[in-house]
Chain A
Amino acid sequence: MLFLALFSANASNWLYLAKLSSVGSISDEETCEKLRGLIQRQVQICKRNVEVMDAVRRGAQLAIDECQFQFRNRRWNCSTLESVPVFGKVVTQGTREAAFVYAISAASVAFAVTRACSSGELDKCGCDRNVHGVSPEGFQWSGCSDNIAYGVAFSHSFVDVRERSKGQSSNRALMNLHNNEAGRKAILSHMRVECKCHGVSGSCEVKTCWKAMPPFRKVGNVIKEKFDGATEVELRKIGTTKVLVPRNSQFKPHTDEDLVYLDPSPDFCDHDPRTPGIMGTTGRFCNKTSKAIDGCELMCCGRGFHTEEVEVVDRCSCKFHWCCYVKCKQCRKMVEMHTCR
Chain B
Amino acid sequence: MDAVIFFPFTHRTAETVALKMAGAIIENMSTKKLVIVGVILLLFQAFSFMVGGLIAPSPTTAVHYLATKCVDAVKTSEKDEWFMPWGPDQCSKIRDFEEATAKRIEANNIVFAVHIPLPHREMSAWFQFMLVILQFDIAFKTHNQIEDGAMATMDVRLAYRDDLMGQWTEMAHSIEHRKLNCNFTTSKTPENDGRYYECDLLPFMEVGSVSHKYYLLNIRLPVNERKKVNIGIGEIKDIRLVSIHQNGGFTKVWFAMKTFLTPSILIIMIWYWKRITQMTRPPVLLEKIIFALGISMTFINIPVEWFSVGFDWTWMLLFGDIRQGIFYAMLLSFWIIFCGEHLMDQTERNRLSVYWKQVGPIVFGSFCLFIFDMCERGVQLKNPFYSIWASDVGTELAMAFIIVAGICACLYFLFLCFMVFQVFRNVSGKRSALPAMTKARRLHYEGLIFRFKFLMLVTLACAAMTVIFFIITQVNEGHWHWGGYTVQVSSAFFTGIYGMWNLYVFALMFLYAPSHKRYGDGQSSVGDQGGNSGEDIQLTTTITHVDGPTEIYKMTGKEAQE
A interface residues (Cβ-Cβ under 8 A, vs B): 58, 69, 115, 117-125, 127, 134, 136, 139-144, 146-147, 194, 196, 198, 200-202, 204-210, 212, 215, 217-218, 315, 318-326
The secondary-structure label for the interface of chain A is mixed
B115/A210 in contact, CB under 8 A: no
| Of B11-19, B37-45, B104-112, B432-440, the one with at least 4 CB within 8 A of chain A | B104-112
Interface residues of B in 6-45 (CB under 8 A from A): none
Least CB separation from B143: chain A residue: A318
The total of chain B residues at the interface (CB under 8 A) is 71
Q: Top 3 A-B pairs ranked by shortest CB distance?
A: A143-B61, A142-B57, A210-B62
Closest to B59 in A: A206
Interchain CA distance A215-B143 in the complex, whole Å? 21
- Extra A-B contacts (16), CB below 8 Å, given A136-B121, A143-B57, A205-B470: A118-B118, A119-B68, A123-B119, A140-B127, A141-B249, A200-B325, A206-B60, A320-B143, A321-B230, A322-B223, A322-B235, A323-B97, A323-B107, A323-B236, A324-B107, A325-B107
CB-nearest residue of chain B to A217: B195
Cβ contacts under 8 Å, B223 to chain A = 321-322, 325
**Contact present for A322 and B120 (CB under 8 Å):** no
Are A324 and B97 in touch, CB under 8 angstroms? yes
Q: B194 touches which one: A69, A205, A212, A325 (CB < 8 A)?
A: A69
Bits for B496-525, please: 1 = Cβ < 8 Å to A, else 0.
000000000000000000000000000000
B244 nearest CB neighbor, chain A only: A208
Choose from B195, B201, B373 the contact partner of A196 (Cβ within 8 Å): B201
> Please, which residue of chain B has its CB at the minimum distance from the CB of A317?
B143
Q: Is B324's beta carbon under 8 Å from chain A?
A: yes
What B residues does A212 contact at CB under 8 A?
64, 135, 240, 242
CA–CA, A140 to B373, complex, Å? 28
A322 to B470 alpha-carbon distance, docked (Å) = 42
Instruction: Decide: A147 and B64 in contact? CB cutoff 8 A.
Output: yes
Min distance, Cβ B395 to any Cβ of chain A, angstroms: 13
In the assembled complex, which residues on chain B have CB atoms less than 8 Å from the CB atom of A208? 59-62, 244
B61 touches A324 (CB 8 A): no
A143 to B59, CA, bound (A): 10
**Docked complex Cα distance between A305 and B129 (Å):** 66
Pairwise interchain contact B194-A324, C-beta atoms closer than 8 A: no
How many whole Å from A61's CB to the nearest CB in chain B?
10
B188 to chain A, nearest CB (A): 15
Contact with A along B126-142 (1 / 0, CB 8 A): 11000101010100010
- Which among B110, B122, B372 is the interface contact of A323 at CB below 8 angstroms? B110
Given the complex, which residues of B lie within 8 Å of A198, measured CB to CB? Answer: 131, 244
Chain A residues lying within 8 Å of B234, measured Cβ to Cβ, are: 322
Chain A to chain B contacts (Cβ below 8 Å), 13 pairs: A118-B65, A118-B66, A119-B85, A121-B86, A124-B120, A141-B249, A142-B61, A142-B247, A204-B474, A212-B135, A320-B141, A324-B97, A326-B144
Task: Please provide the chain B residues from 229 to 258 with a CB less than 8 Å away from any CB of chain A in the complex.
Answer: 230-231, 233-236, 240, 242, 244, 247-249
Q: Does B279 contact A (CB under 8 A)?
A: no
Report the separation of the CA atoms of residues A224 and B323 in the bound assembly, to the nearest whole angstrom: 54
A200-B325, A325-B106 known; A120-B85 Cβ under 8 A: yes
For residues 172 through 217 of chain B, which have their beta carbon under 8 Å from a beta carbon of chain A?
Answer: 194-196, 201
| Nearest-Cβ distance from residue B497 to partner chain A, whole angstroms | 10
* B63 beta carbon closer than 8 Å to chain A: yes
Our pick among A196, A215, A218, A322 for the contact of B233 (Cβ within 8 Å) is A322
User: Given the complex, which residues of B lie within 8 Å of A323, measured CB to CB?
Assistant: 97, 100-101, 106-107, 110, 221, 235-236
Q: How far is the CA of A122 from the CA of B127 in the complex (A)?
A: 23
What are the residues of chain A within 8 A of B66 when measuring CB–CB? 115, 118-119
- Shortest beta-carbon distance from B137 to chain A in Å: 7
B126 touches A140 (CB 8 A): yes
Q: Are A322 and B221 in contact (CB under 8 A)?
A: yes
Q: Would you call B422 an interface residue if the criterion is a C-beta within 8 Å of the partner chain's C-beta atoms?
A: no
CB <8 Å contact, B144 and A118: no
Contact of B321 among A136, A200, A217 (CB under 8 A): A200
Distance A49 CA – B325 CA, assembled complex (angstroms): 51
Q: Is there a chain A Cβ closer than 8 Å to B301's Cβ?
A: no
Which residues of B53-110 have CB atoms within 8 Å of chain A's CB atoms? 57-68, 85-86, 95, 97, 100-101, 104-107, 110
Verify B58–A142 contact, CB threshold 8 A. yes
Complex contacts, B95 vs chain A, CB 8 Å: 58
Structural contact, A200 and B194, CB atoms closer than 8 A: no
- For A122, what are the chain B residues with a Cβ–Cβ distance below 8 Å? 119
